[in-house]
Amino acid sequence: MEIANIKIEPAVFLAPMAGVSDYPYRQLVREMGVNLLYTEMVSSKGYEYGNKRTAELIEFDKGETGKIAVQIFGENAEFMARAAADISAEYDIDLIDINMGCPARKIVKNGAGSALMKKPDLAFEIIKKTVNAAEVPVTVKMRSGWDEENINAVELAKISEEAGAAAVAVHGRTRSQFYKGQADWEIIKDVVNEVEIPVIANGDIFSAEDAASIIDKTKCDGIMVGRAAQGNPWIFKEIIEYLTKGKLIKVPSNVEKIEMALKHLELTVDYYGENHGVPIMRKHISWYLKGMPNAGKMKNEANKIADKNKLIALLKKYQKSL
């Protein structure tokens, strides 16, 4: 797959997820063979106003190898353009991605994220100005539409292409669905048929077979995995092996999952410090434990621990019981 002459192989991506796809987790995903990684979404206004937390979301990428895309969000074309210009000038990144798909209320109520799908003219202005300002190619991530009565991914994809976007990613759900129901892969296929730029498919990719199926059905250029990657960085290795070699690799054992959780914990605490890192890991540990014996009890115990070494001891004790 090529995005504006940037070759990306394999074309398998971790979706940008706030509070999930941070620097420590991206390190694990990179080890699974993913070449291009997206940051968590960055507020264009927060960045331009010098918000420390916002800038840190980008600073985190400096130690990574491979390709990097910074995803930005906002409802103001001027701020989006300025943020894209400043970020692409200051950091060694490969792409700027515009978030037009986030369904979170706090994002949508301010007119950003998937709310932009209701305002095609504003979406065009934001994309056009961002493309003109950025020193790197610009891509757009969207949903199928706002709700069932307003499915307009094809229209927005065409607008994105006309405004100069180098690729689009489409999640086959409406904003009103959030993450419920079934993703509509047909709308992704329609987008593929209507634009010349590359299309990345997103939604209901939970296995290597799902990845192969969505590629076959939509003829997309690449795939993006979101929720299925939570507590499961191996999914990328599974998908890549299956797509490139036709091989289904062995699913990690529960012991291996806990080993990965321990590694993830070390990376997170090293990065954020113990006071911030241990609480961050609670949700990740919950995902790693999913489906394991006495998972509920383990989650409750882990959530009460604020000390890194005590949490390690708990996980190792549990690992020995598996």
**pLDDT of res. 52:** 83
Pairing of strands 167-174, 222-225: unpaired
**pLDDT of res. 148:** 96
On whether the pTM is more than 0.75, the answer is yes
Tens of pLDDT, residues 282-301: 999 999 999 999 999 999 99
Is 175 annotated as contributing to ligand binding? no
Joined tokens for residue 139: 């891509």
Is 120 annotated as contributing to ligand binding? no
CA atoms within 13 A on the CB side of 198: 20
Same-fold call for 2-245 versus 254-321: no
Is 263:271 a contact under the CB 8 Å cutoff? no
- Let me know if 220 is a catalytic residue: no
Is 319 annotated as contributing to ligand binding? no
The conformational region for residue 74 under phi > 0 = left, psi -120 to 50 = alpha, else beta, is: left
**pLDDT of res. 316:** 98
Is 141 annotated as contributing to ligand binding? yes
Residue that is written with structure tokens 């934001």 in the block: 126
Is 161:153 a contact under the CB 8 Å cutoff? no
User: What CATH class has 2-245?
Assistant: alpha beta
Domain boundaries, the chain: 2-245, 254-321
**pLDDT of res. 63:** 66
**pLDDT of res. 215:** 98
In 3D, which of 70, 84, 78 has the Cα closest to residue 36?
70
Is 227 annotated as contributing to ligand binding? yes
CATH number for region 254-321 = 1.10.1200
Is 13:224 a contact under the CB 8 Å cutoff? yes
Is 71 annotated as contributing to ligand binding? yes
Element spanning 12, H or E: strand 12-14
Distance between CA 264 and CA 277 in Å, rounded? 10
| pLDDT in single tens digits along all 322 residues of the chain | 999 999 999 999 999 999 999 999 999 999 999 999 999 999 999 999 998 888 888 876 666 668 999 999 999 999 999 999 999 999 999 999 999 999 999 999 999 999 999 999 999 999 999 999 999 999 999 999 999 999 999 999 999 999 999 999 999 999 999 999 999 999 999 999 999 999 999 999 999 999 999 999 999 999 999 999 999 999 999 999 999 999 999 999 999 999 999 999 999 999 999 999 999 999 999 999 999 999 999 999 999 999 999 999 999 999 999 9
Distance between CA 197 and CA 135 in Å, rounded? 19
Is 103 annotated as contributing to ligand binding? no
**pLDDT of res. 56:** 81
Catalytic residue among 102, 168, 258, 298: 102
